[in-house]
Structure 1
Amino acid sequence: MRIYTRSGDKGTTSLVYGKRVAKTDSRVEAYGTCDEANSMIGLALSYIHERDWDKKEAFLEKLYRVQTVLFHVGAELSTPSDREVAWKLKEAHITELEEQIDEWSEILPPLTQFILPSGNNASSALHLARTIVRRAERMAVAVQDELQDTLSISYLNRLSDYLFVAARYVNYELGGPEIPLQVDM
């Protein structure tokens, strides 16, 4: 399969099932931002691969699953509303995120103040992925009238929370600093 098709050379791209739209279309922005977030999660995982800790493999598996579901969220965002979505997001996917957030939160020291997005490379990349997911969520909200189902918006909302806690968890496990917000500047 060739990577290049030349079909986008004039500023259009295809949604799922072949409908052509401008590359500036809101749906393209939404699913493209999901792809961007997915790539940033991948960068975080590449940093984690370089480190050793006893819970690393379990953590990687959880994030690979998130990447897979996020890929499908992007596919849903790129499916025209009059066509069938090939893979349906389920409430269970959101519940899975919530349960993991709760599990990690039990381990982490409670937050008593705002923290800066920082720490080790993996944590910082997860914080950046979180902000990209927030942008994807805003873009998905902008096209919600064109979606068959708005679970993708809920998933993106919960995923940003998940990535925040995942960033804290990685810092905790790898001994990265959690830097509090300075309020007396």
Structure 2
Amino acid sequence: MVRLTRIYTRTGDRGTTALGSGERRVKDDLRIEAYGTVDELNAVIGVARTVADAQTDRLLAAVQNDLFDLGADLATPQTDEPLPYERLAVVPAQVDRLEQEIDSMNAALSPLNSFVLPAGTPASAHLHHARTVARRAERLMVRLARQPGEAVSDPALRYINRLSDWLFVAARHANDDGRGDVLWVPGANR
């Protein structure tokens, strides 16, 4: 269990922060950028929850909890060194749950024949914003995984990829099950 007794420690005043393993890294390290962007995504989802319907709010609450798991996964790189606690990592069941929820939400939506603009209801716009932050987090995680000596688990990469799809479908759901989607009209303003 996490216990926070002090909010500031002064240990980061010189531009470094500690990973879950205790290793210190500079605050603009790619791993820090990746889990910092996951944290930003969580905050954007928190805003979306303020205007979401009750069902979507419940689903988003589970996603927010998963994002803390993902942040912990990224903040504690896999090493051969033993940790004094069990390392928390995203598991395939979390990805499976997202896929089931995507299929459930998508069943009510009509097929698209154009790209959707990130607009419509406030909930839809916020969910589209979250989707773009999820894609940025994914790009950072993929970049991190390509770095020598750095690892990002397959379930973590699958989760963040699937989450952006989930957010797209949820945004369409928030637009009256897609009936309120704002569609892109190619070349409309030429």
Aligned pairs (5 A) from 1:70-81: 70-81=67-78
| Aligned with residue 183 of structure 1, among 178, 183, 186 | 186
Aligned-partner residue type, residue 185 of structure 2: Q
| Range moving further from structure 2, 63-72 or 142-151 | 142-151
| Aligned with residue 147 of structure 1, among 134, 147, 151 | 151
Query: C-alpha offsets along residues 77-117 of structure 1, whole Å, 9 cap, x if unaligned?
Result: 11122156622322111111111111111111221111100
Aligned pairs (5 A) from 1:123-138: 123-138=124-139
- Equivalent residue for 1:64? 61
- Equivalent residue for 1:98? 99
SS of the counterpart of 2:116? coil
Query: Is the CA contact (8 Å cut-off) linking 2:91 and 2:156 kept in structure 1?
Result: no
Root-mean-square deviation (Å): 1.8
Deviation of 1:163 (Å): 0.3
Q: Runs of 4+ in structure 1 displaced over 6 angstroms?
A: none
Change (3 A) 1:176 1:124: farther
Deviation of 1:176 (Å): 7.8
**Identity score, percent:** 44
Q: TM-score, normalised by structure 1?
A: 0.89
SS of the counterpart of 1:89? coil
Change (3 A) 1:177 1:148: closer
Q: TM-score, normalised by structure 2?
A: 0.87
Change (3 A) 1:176 1:44: farther
Change (3 A) 1:22 1:181: same
- Equivalent residue for 2:20? 16
| Aligned with residue 3 of structure 1, among 3, 7, 26 | 7
Query: Is the CA contact (8 Å cut-off) linking 2:144 and 2:152 kept in structure 1?
Result: no
Equivalenced residues, count:
177
- Cα distance in 1 for partners of 2:183, 2:174 equals 16
- Cα distance in 2 for partners of 1:125, 1:11 equals 32
Query: Is the CA contact (8 Å cut-off) linking 1:137 and 1:153 kept in structure 2?
Result: yes
Aligned-partner residue type, residue 58 of structure 1: Q
Matched, 1:162 2:166: yes
Aligned-partner residue type, residue 143 of structure 1: L
SS of the counterpart of 2:107? helix
